[in-house]
Each structure stands twice: as C-alpha cells, then as structure tokens.
Structure 1
Amino acid sequence: MSMGTAERREAHEDGEAAELTARSPAEAPDRDIPATGSHTPPRERPKPPEAREQRPDYRPLWTEEPARRRRLPDPVRTAAVRAVLVVALTLILAMVAFLCAMAGSWLSFPMVIGSVAGTVVATWGVLDVWVTRQVWNQRHGVVSMPSSTARAMRRERRRARRQARSAQRAQERIRRRGGAGQLTHS
C-alpha cells in the first residue's frame, strides 16, 4: 500500500498498526524544503499512544448549515435542470456560429440556424420552468392567495370532515340516550 506525503502509518511497540495520522508541515518527507511556521522540530520521534490521544479537539473541514430556502419540488427541479442544459447548449451553438462567421467558414450558416432554433427551445425551457412552478404551487397550496385552487379544495375537505364528525357525534348521542331511532324533544 502506498501512502501519500500527507499521511503515515505508525506502529506500536508490539507491532500493531496504528491509525493514519496527518503530517504537520514540519514532518513533511521533502528534506529539501524547510518547514515554516511550525512549532515542532523536524525530526520528532513518534509519540507514545497516551500522548497521541491527548491531541487538541477535532475540527471538521466544513460545518453544515441549514438551507436558506426550501428545496424545489421534483417536477420544478427537473424542468430547471432541463432548461439549464438547453440554454448552455444554445450558448455553445451561438459561440461556435460566431467563431465560424469570424473565420469565414461554410459552417457559420448552419450554426446560425441551429442557434436560432436553440434560442426558441431555450425560451420554451425557461417558460416550462415558470409554468411548472405555477402549476405545482396551485395544486399543492404553497401560494396563499384567494384564487388558489388548493385552498378551495382544502376548504371543501375541512367542511366534509366537520360534517362527518358532527354526524358521528349525533349518532353517539342517540346511542347514549338508549334507543336507536328514538328522538326526544327536550
């Protein structure tokens, strides 16, 4: 197994292999390059296991931060990726058309036609993202506007649940009073 310059394998006295440890700049194997800014001497002997365990707290390379915005819904994200790919391809076509025109190549005309068609498709792709987002918002009630279809559907579901609960309570009341079909006027 070959190790890079940033790692080394230490061995205990009894022959067991220890964990991989990172080398400090002073322990770099390049003998020609002096170590700068280090507090350890260049030829430090391996520390005993007790001293190795007392190293300073582990500091991760990065810290996880909560997302500032929510993740896009799957259909919207798919449309956005498709649009980005189409726009990138269109920009490449336009650049090739420009370079061919500057060089006086016969390919400039087909490339211009391709980039015009690509512009139409890219416009469709961007509009597709916008429409997909609007449709998703309408169906899933993210936008809180009076014209939201999802809001009306939620209102109907709530009304139906309320009616079912009141009918169930009425049935329970009738059962508790002792007779099925026996209506009393109090």
Structure 2
Amino acid sequence: MDTEERRIEASGAEATGPARVPRQQLWVEEPALRRRMPDPVRTAAVRAVLIMSLTIIQAMVAFLCTLTGSWLAFPMVLSGVGSTVVATWSVLDVWVTRQVWNQRNGVVSVPSSTARRMRRERRRARRTARAQTRKATRIRRRGTGGLSRA
C-alpha cells in the first residue's frame, strides 16, 4: 500500500464518521511462574553471563587468529585460558552468593522437609536426655539424705 493510498483511506474514514477500531494493548502482564531471584544473586548472575559471553568471544577470536596464522594468536590463547578461569570463578560466585543468601535469609520451609523432621528428632532426644538426667539426680538426692527412717 502506497503512502498516498493510506492518506486517502484515512481521510475517507474521517469523512464517513468516527469508526473506532479497538486498540490492542502493547504490554500484557502475566503472573510469574517462578519467584524472582534475590538482588545479590541476580547481580552475580548477570556478571557471570557477561564474563562468559566475553570469554566465548575471546575464544572465537583466538581460534580465528590461529587459523590465519596471526602473531596475535598466542597472546589471545593465553588470555583465553585466563578468562576461562575467571568465567569459572564467576559461575561459582553465583552459586556461593545464592547459598549465602539462602542461609542468611532463610528458605521457605515445607512441612515435610527432612530438615524439620531431623530438628524435631534432635529436640525429642534432648528432652529425653534432660529428663533422664533430672530423674537420676533426684534419685541420688533421696538416697544420700544421711537420715534413715528404719
């Protein structure tokens, strides 16, 4: 459709009356399926993605320099090895940051979780141990009174 034809159509539509076309929304919000990552974890993840992408680009440049026989190939391969170490470190940083955040701010506990069950068992064991020590100290006190009624 030509620009002139569009103008004619637009002016013809205005002459016949205001025929309103329902406008579609540009942005439709949908509920998230998963919870959002905490800010420190998200920051570390973005940093890791950027470092990884730069490492992949650097590896590709090193490969192409090696194919062409450029003098830049050897320094690029050496720096590629170093950047691979840094990229691995950044991925580990994401994992460690996530673990630290979970430890500090807690995890959503599920009633059937094994951690909760183990905590209950430890509490029961401590209670029974305390009750037994109390019972043993009471028996000793009664038996060592020094006065006998017999």
What TM-score results when the alignment is normalised by the length of structure 1?
A: 0.52
Q: Which residue pairs with 1:29 in the alignment?
A: 3
Structure with greater strand share of residues: 1
Shift of 1:61: 2.5
The Cα RMSD (Å) is 2.7
Tell me the alpha carbon deviations over residues 9-41 of structure 1, each in whole angstroms, 9 at most, x when there is no partner: xxxxxxxxxxxxxxxx6xx6244xxx8xxxx96
1:29-48 alignment, distance < 5 Å: 29-31=3-5, 44=12, 46-47=14-15
CA distance in structure 2 between the aligned counterparts of 1:29 and 1:134, rounded to whole angstroms = 59
1:56-135 alignment, distance < 5 Å: 56-135=21-100
CA distance in structure 1 between the aligned counterparts of 2:13 and 2:58, rounded to whole angstroms = 61
Structure with greater helix share of residues: 2
Shift of 1:62: 3.3
Secondary structure at the counterpart of residue 92 of structure 1: helix
Give the direction of change, closer, same or farther, for the CA distance of 1:113–1:59 in structure 2 (3 Å limit).
same
Q: Which residue pairs with 2:122 in the alignment?
A: none
- Consecutive aligned runs of 4 or more in structure 1 exceeding 3 Å deviation: 40-43
Give the direction of change, closer, same or farther, for the CA distance of 1:121–1:56 in structure 2 (3 Å limit).
same
Secondary structure at the counterpart of residue 46 of structure 1: helix
CA contact (8 A) 1:79 1:129 kept: yes
Unaligned runs of 5+ in 1: 1-24, 152-186
Give the direction of change, closer, same or farther, for the CA distance of 1:45–1:94 in structure 2 (3 Å limit).
closer
Higher RCO structure (Cα 8 Å, ≥6 apart) = 2
Give the direction of change, closer, same or farther, for the CA distance of 1:143–1:116 in structure 2 (3 Å limit).
farther
CA distance in structure 2 between the aligned counterparts of 1:121 and 1:77, rounded to whole angstroms = 18
CA distance in structure 2 between the aligned counterparts of 1:45 and 1:137, rounded to whole angstroms = 61
Shift of 1:93: 0.9
The percentage of counterpart residues that share the same residue type is: 60
Shift of 1:143: 5.0
Secondary structure at the counterpart of residue 44 of structure 1: helix
Unaligned runs of 5+ in 2: 120-150
What TM-score results when the alignment is normalised by the length of structure 2?
A: 0.64
CA contact (8 A) 1:137 1:143 kept: no
CA distance in structure 2 between the aligned counterparts of 1:105 and 1:41, rounded to whole angstroms = 61
Aligned length: 112
Give the direction of change, closer, same or farther, for the CA distance of 1:120–1:56 in structure 2 (3 Å limit).
same
CA distance in structure 1 between the aligned counterparts of 2:56 and 2:9, rounded to whole angstroms = 56
